[in-house]
Each structure stands twice: as structure tokens, then as C-alpha cells.
Structure 1
Amino acid sequence: MKKLFSKKILYVLVLLLPAIVLGGLAYVWLESFDTPGYVLLGIGHWSLETTLSVFIFALIITFFLLYFSLRTLDYLIRLPGQLKARSRLVKFNRSQDALISGLVDSAEGNWERAETALIKHVSHSGAPLLHYLTAAKAAQSRGALDKRDEYLKKASDHAPDSAIAIGLTQAELHLSGNEFDQALEALGKLHAIEPSHASVLKLLHQTYKTMGDWEAIRKLLPSLHSHKVLLETEIRQLETEAFTRLLKQSAATGHIDTLQQHWAEVPNYIRKLSGISAIYFAAMINGGAGADIEDELALALSIDWDTTLLVLFGSVPSNDALKQLAMAERWLSVHENDAVLLAVLGKLSAKCADNTKARTYLQQSLAIEPTVSAYQLLGDLLTAEGEQAEASQCYKKGLELASNEAVSRIIPAV
């Protein structure tokens, strides 16, 4: 303030000096005449008489004083507003410094100091929303959840038009704090406001995935795809994972109707992936609905030969065992040296009470590739025919093979 007043005094003196010089020059010039003239002013009974040179000098000085008085009066009138504006500018600059300091402290993990700096000068900031949202993050990071919610509410009160930004921050904080229900509640409101908002959709996807809600992700997939929230490859990976998880969940619960519904919704490119269809077919067989998928399973094998599906086909409790065996025997012309197929044929032949054919198929399978299951099937068949010694040999070889397989799995781990 003193500095400002000193400048005004200097300004007056700078203007006064030329006025005095100008008045003095006019006075000297007029006095140089033999008859410099005079001026007479009369007001009522009063009169004033002086020389012209004195009058002009006085007029110049009077004009200057009047001009200065008016400027001073204008300055005094505007002074309170200028002081307020200057005070606001100082406070605004402080709030900007506090915002920068708070952001730096947050980045460095000084949560309490960041929160204090951000809130102290928020009332004078040009961006109070940024102060409150950053303070909310700092409060959560130090475990002050009540403060976090308070700052989020104040942010909403100060910037009601920024509901999306505030809601996203709130959802992110709830999600990072494993408050999934609260996160979904916040995201649900945002999704109702902006159904196509990419950040809202992405956070919904992350929340559902963390919660393991694959049914919700399945329903969200079209929006994620149409609004390009994720890359095409990411969408396909997520879609594959979602349907795989849903099939496994349905299989675990044994709900056949739900399982069939999910399978009907699985895209063809996912059905062709190794292991996906096996989940569905195995669940249907375990759920007692194997006969319903026999033809579909046979068609899948005809299109894409798969050992796992072949084993499942042999486990189907068919309503027509002879038809089932005939179908498997047709594949033998293409896969004549397939040990798994021969074992399945042995199993199906035994189911059709054709023990001779069953024995032949199982022996051919063991000759190509010995397996525990083939030894077990042949042992059971020999036991049924009363050949105990041969059956015991099969069981023994099966146990030895199983033991060797177990040891081979353990040794690499050691």
C-alpha cells in the first residue's frame, strides 16, 4: 500500500513541474509587453482585478489542481474495489500454489499433508473440484473414509454439472477399497446418465470382473464392443472368458436349463476353441442329459477330431447303444491307429454285450498306447468272463502305469 501511495505522489510531482514551468513561461512572456493587460472579474458586489499574466498562471495551476483532485477522487472511489481484487488475486495465487503442492504430495504419498494443503485454500481456487477430488483420494489413501465421502459431497455441491467426473472418481475409490456394492451403485447412476460413456463402461467391466459377475459382463459385452471401449482382441478374449466361466458355473450348479441357454448364446468361433465344448458336453453328461447331446457331440467330432470329446462320446448313456457303436466304428476308417478311439470302441462294444469285439478293440488300443483306463476296461471285461488271472494281470499293469505316471509328475516338481 505504501509503495502504491509513493507512486501516486511521484506522479503528482511529475505533472506539477511542467504546469509550473508552463505557467512561469506564460507569465514571463506577458510581462515582457509594455502593457501586459489586466483581467477584471465581478460577482455581485465583489470584484477581482489582476494582471493578465497572473491570471493565466493561476488558471494553469488551477486546472492542474482541479484535474489532480478529480483523479484523486476517482482513485479513492475505486480503491476499495482494487484492494478487494488484489486480495482475491493473492488468495487465488495461494490456492494455485496449494493445488500444485497437494498434487505433488499426493504423488509422493504424503497424504495428510496433501489433504491439508488442498482444503485450506479451496474456497479461493478457480478449480475447487480438482481440490476436493484430489483431497478425497488422499483421505482414502490414509484410511479416512468419512473425510473422503465429505469431500466428494462438497465436490458435488460445488460442481453439480460435473456429475460424471465426480461419480467416476467415487467409483474408482470404492473399487480400490474393495467396496464393490458402492462402486456398482455409483456406476449404475452414471450409466443411467451416460449409457455410452467409455470410462463408465470400462469401470463397470472392471468391477464385474473383480466380483466374478460373468453374467453381467456378458450383458455388457455389446456396449463394450459398439463403443470401442476395448480393442477387438480384448473383446474376444473377454467374451471367451465370460462364456467359459458361465459354462463352468452352470456345470458346477447342475442347472441343465441354464447351461443349455448359455451354450446357445456362445458364438461359433468360441465353440471351436479347444476345451470349450468339452465343458458343455461333460456338464450335460454329468447332469444326466447326455443322450440329448449325443448327436451334437458326434457332429463336433466329425468336424474337428478331439481326444477329449471322443472320451466324452464314449461316456454318453445313449438310448441306442448299437447306433452309438456304429457311429464310432465309422470313424475308425479315418483314425484306424487311434488308441483312444479303439479304447472307446471297446467300451461301447462291452455296453452292447459284444465282449469278443470289445476284447479285440481294447487289446489293439493297449498295443498302440497302454493307458490306465484301457487296462481297467479290459480287466473288468475279463473278470466278467471269469478269467481272473488275466484280469489281475491287467489291473496290475494298470496300477504300475498309474504309479509311473504319478512319479513322472512329481519328479519334475522336485
Structure 2
Amino acid sequence: MGGLFIIALLALVAGVGIVALIETEPGYLLIAYGGYTVETSFWVGILLIATVVLLLYASLRFLHRLITSPANVLNWAGERRLRQSARLTSRGIINFIEGSWAKSRKQMLRGARYSESPLLNYLMAARASYRLQEPEAMRQHLVKAAESDLEAIIAVDLTQAELQLNDRQYEKALRTLEAAKKNPNKHPQVLSLLCKAYDGLGDIEAMLTLLPALRKYRIGGALELDDLEARIHHDLLEQAAVTGDAALLKARWKKYPARLLDDESVQLHYLSSLLVCDEVSTLEREIEKRLKKSWKAALVSLYGRIPRESAPKQLATAESWLKQHANDPELLLCLGRLAMVERQWAKARDYLERSHAALPSEEACLELGRLLTAVGDHSTAAEVFRVGTGLRTNPLPELPQPDDVVADSLPETHRIESP
């Protein structure tokens, strides 16, 4: 601090001395060249000469560096281009997210010119072209992406497969994923895309084969994978039921995950599939066995819907359930149907009326109504049908009916004259 003060003091003294010297003795400088002359004071001339010398020195030094070190200039220019490329890439990503596809693609391609790694630029440009529905441009950008980094071919394939799946080109996507699926350890995303492709093609068994790998590499959350597993096994049963292959249906049921077997909807789906495959005896045994363990109204309802030519044993079995479920409307409806199979019309009517009294339902009303119609009790049947109509999930709107219309409002051709 003290040294700096001394230097400042000396500079101040020197400045004062120079100013005093200039004022007492300004001097005289004359420069003549040809027909031109320059006159000035000595001190101003010295200052001008010093300025010219410094400028000349700086120019010569710059030229020397330019000649001897061109790499410095090139590095500076390269760094500037890289910064510009980074800015363009950043803006391109932002515009892509915001939905400005054309603008994003333009910025991505400009940024790719000077980028050391243009792979991302070309991939994003391909996605933007897809959004713009320009498949040829998309293909060209994917080709450039592959050429820009030979080690990133899989990344290019995954991008192409994803875009193909979005267009529901499932077979093309599978062909695109051939190379990537050989090493899911390095490319786990391929498993997710394969699953979507198999799902689109309806290849349920291939999805089931893929499921362990999806869990191993944690493709999706645990709940998501559990839902996928449940859907796969549900569809496998459905597929077997559609073909009517009872043996295949039973084989697939044996492989059903144990943790899903307690689900009532799963059990009902399997039993309904047995009905579709015409496995009547197996279905009856399964329902009776399950009802002994746990009473479920849906199983009772299905038991009454099984087509039979006769049902004395089934009627007796269902009547034994009345001891513990005397007022169960589903059981009473089931008994009514079984009694109708046995042509015991009075008993069937009694059971159906008791079911309707216990809990009116559309199904019970329709069943009772058609029985009453068949035995000729039309007025009661009409009333039951009317009640059933009101119990529909989507009931009919309130509208005027013919009984409510006065005679003068009827057309002439529809009027009934009194005798």
C-alpha cells in the first residue's frame, strides 16, 4: 500500500514537471517533405511520433502472430461455431417441445453443420419431419443420423421403430428391431417397443415370453407390469374360448398366475369361457366347488344360464342352497330357470315371483314376464314387463302412451267408433 502511494506521488511530481517544462519551453518541430510541411510544438510532435510508432508496432505484432500461429485463429472460429451450434440445438429442442416442428427441424439441421456430434440433431429433425407428415424427409434424416455416428445405429433403429409403431406399422417395426433385440442388456428400451409391436399384431404368446425380461430390466413400474400380465393371461383365455379349444383353455388356466386366481372377475371369465367351449359338466362342477368355498351371486347366475336338456340333479343341488340363502334373489332366479328346464311351470313361477319380490331386477322381470305370457296371464305379464322396463340401466324416456291420447287427437283412420 505504501509503495503504491510513493509511485503515485512520483508520477504526480513528474507530470507537474513536464507540464511546467512545456509551458516554459514549448520548443519547435518542422517536418518538410516535397512541397508539404508540418509545423507543431516539440512536445506535440513527440507525442504524435510515439503514437505512430506504437500503432506500427502493434500492427506488426498482430501480423506476426497471424502468420506464425494460424491455429489460434482457427480455434477461435471453431469455438464460435460450436457455441452457435449449441444455441441452435437448444432452441430446436425447445421449439420441438412447443410444437413448432418446421422451425425446430430448421434449427436442428443448422446446428448439425458445426456440431461435433450431430446425431441428436438428425434424430430430432427426423422426429420433427414425422410430425410434419413428411416420411421421405424423415428417412433421409435417419440415414444421416446413422452416418454421423456408426456406434449409434441401434439408437437410430429404436427411433425409427418408435415412429413406425406410432403409424401402426407393426411388422416393419419388428424388422427394424431385429438387431437391437439381440442384446436387451445394452438396449432395454427395445423390450418396450417389442411389446407394443407384439400387442399390435395380436401375438399374445410372444408378449408372455417377453414379460420376464420386462420385469428383469424394469421396463415400466411394478403396477404397470402387473396389469400387463393380467391382461395377457385374460387375452390368452379369450383366444382359446374364441377357437372353442377346451383343452387349450384348460392348459392356459393351469398356467394362470396364482396371485390372480382369487380375483372374482378372473374366475368368472374362465367359467364363462368354459361355457363358450361347451364344457357344461366341467363348468357345473367348478361352480358347485367354488360356491362351497365362497358364495358369489355371479356364479349362481351363471349356474342358471347353463344350457341343459334336463336338470333334475342341478335343481336339487340349487334347492339345497336355499337352507342358507333363502331370500337370495339370484338363487331364486336360478331356481326359476332350472324349474323351467324341468317344465315345472308352477314352481318356476313361484321362484321367479319370489326373486322379483326380494329384489326387482330387469332380468327377473323379463324371465317372469315371458313365462306369464306363455301360460296366458297377459295382464300380469304386461305389468311385470312395465316394471322391468323401468329398471333398465338406461330407462326409456317418459312419453305419452296411446291410452293417454284423447280421441279427437287421433287420425281419422285410427279412430274407433263406439258401437
TM-score by length of 1: 0.69
- Per the TM alignment, residue 133 of structure 1 is displaced from its structure 2 partner at its CA by 1.0
Pair 1:303 & 2:289 matched: no
Q: In the alignment, which of 174, 184, 203 is matched to residue 194 of structure 1?
A: 184
**Which 5+ residue runs of structure 1 have no aligned equivalent?**
13-71
Pair 1:129 & 2:119 matched: yes
Residue 345 to residue 106, structure 1, CA distance change in 2 (3 Å): closer
Residue 388 (structure 2) aligns with:
402
Residue 224 (structure 1) aligns with:
214
Residue 145 (structure 1) aligns with:
135
**Once the two structures are superposed, what CA deviation does each residue of 1:288-341 show, in whole Å capped at 9, x if it has no partner?**
222222211222223332222212112334698343233323322221211221
Report the Cα distance in structure 2 between the residues aligned to 1:285 and 1:339, rounded to whole angstroms.
Answer: 23
Query: What is the DSSP-based 3-state SS (H/G/I as helix, E as strand, rest coil) of the residue aligned with 1:218?
Result: helix
- Per the TM alignment, residue 104 of structure 1 is displaced from its structure 2 partner at its CA by 3.4
Pair 1:234 & 2:231 matched: no
- Per the TM alignment, residue 121 of structure 1 is displaced from its structure 2 partner at its CA by 5.0
Contact residue 369 and residue 385 of structure 2 kept, 8 A: no
Query: What is the DSSP-based 3-state SS (H/G/I as helix, E as strand, rest coil) of the residue aligned with 2:323?
Result: coil
Q: How does 1:364-403 map to 2 (within 5 A)?
A: 364-371=354-361, 373-374=363-364, 388-390=375-377, 392-393=378-379, 395-403=381-389
TM-score by length of 2: 0.68
Pair 1:113 & 2:114 matched: no
Pair 1:104 & 2:94 matched: yes
Residue 315 (structure 2) aligns with:
325
- Per the TM alignment, residue 159 of structure 1 is displaced from its structure 2 partner at its CA by 1.4
Report the Cα distance in structure 2 between the residues aligned to 1:206 and 1:150, rounded to whole angstroms.
Answer: 25
- Per the TM alignment, residue 116 of structure 1 is displaced from its structure 2 partner at its CA by 3.1
Residue 361 (structure 1) aligns with:
351
Residue 272 to residue 410, structure 1, CA distance change in 2 (3 Å): farther
Report the Cα distance in structure 2 between the residues aligned to 1:139 and 1:408, rounded to whole angstroms.
Answer: 47
- Per the TM alignment, residue 363 of structure 1 is displaced from its structure 2 partner at its CA by 4.2
- Per the TM alignment, residue 156 of structure 1 is displaced from its structure 2 partner at its CA by 1.4
- Per the TM alignment, residue 374 of structure 1 is displaced from its structure 2 partner at its CA by 4.5
Bigger mean CA deviation after superposition, 277-286 or 248-257: 248-257
Contact residue 92 and residue 124 of structure 1 kept, 8 A: yes
Residue 197 to residue 10, structure 1, CA distance change in 2 (3 Å): closer
Report the Cα distance in structure 2 between the residues aligned to 1:342 and 1:206, rounded to whole angstroms.
Answer: 46
Report the Cα distance in structure 1 between the residues aligned to 2:80 and 2:393, rounded to whole angstroms.
Answer: 78
Bigger mean CA deviation after superposition, 279-288 or 304-313: 279-288
- Per the TM alignment, residue 163 of structure 1 is displaced from its structure 2 partner at its CA by 3.0
Residue 408 (structure 2) aligns with:
none
**Once the two structures are superposed, what CA deviation does each residue of 1:318-377 show, in whole Å capped at 9, x if it has no partner?**
698343233323322221211221221233244345556545434433442345555665
Report the Cα distance in structure 1 between the residues aligned to 2:394 and 2:147, rounded to whole angstroms.
Answer: 67
Residue 11 to residue 349, structure 1, CA distance change in 2 (3 Å): closer
Report the Cα distance in structure 2 between the residues aligned to 1:106 and 1:379, rounded to whole angstroms.
Answer: 64
Q: In the alignment, which of 346, 366, 380 is matched to residue 336 of structure 2?
A: 346
Residue 403 (structure 2) aligns with:
none
Report the Cα distance in structure 2 between the residues aligned to 1:361 and 1:406, rounded to whole angstroms.
Answer: 21
Bigger mean CA deviation after superposition, 336-345 or 191-200: 191-200
Q: How does 1:2-401 map to 2 (within 5 A)?
A: 7=58, 9-10=60-61, 79-120=69-110, 122-194=112-184, 197-209=187-199, 214-317=204-307, 321-352=311-342, 357-371=347-361, 373-374=363-364, 388-390=375-377, 392-393=378-379, 395-401=381-387
Contact residue 378 and residue 394 of structure 1 kept, 8 A: no
Bigger mean CA deviation after superposition, 297-306 or 336-345: 297-306
Report the Cα distance in structure 1 between the residues aligned to 2:62 and 2:363, rounded to whole angstroms.
Answer: 109
Equivalent residue letter for 1:398: V
Report the Cα distance in structure 2 between the residues aligned to 1:177 and 1:353, rounded to whole angstroms.
Answer: 58
**Which 5+ residue runs of structure 2 have no aligned equivalent?**
1-55, 399-419
Query: What is the DSSP-based 3-state SS (H/G/I as helix, E as strand, rest coil) of the residue aligned with 2:395?
Result: helix
- Per the TM alignment, residue 411 of structure 1 is displaced from its structure 2 partner at its CA by 4.9
- Per the TM alignment, residue 123 of structure 1 is displaced from its structure 2 partner at its CA by 4.4
Report the Cα distance in structure 2 between the residues aligned to 1:141 and 1:365, rounded to whole angstroms.
Answer: 59
Bigger mean CA deviation after superposition, 196-205 or 127-136: 196-205
User: Share of identical aligned residues, percent?
Assistant: 29
Report the Cα distance in structure 1 between the residues aligned to 2:301 and 2:99, rounded to whole angstroms.
Answer: 57
Equivalent residue letter for 1:184: L
From the two aligned structures, give the one with the greater helix fraction: 1
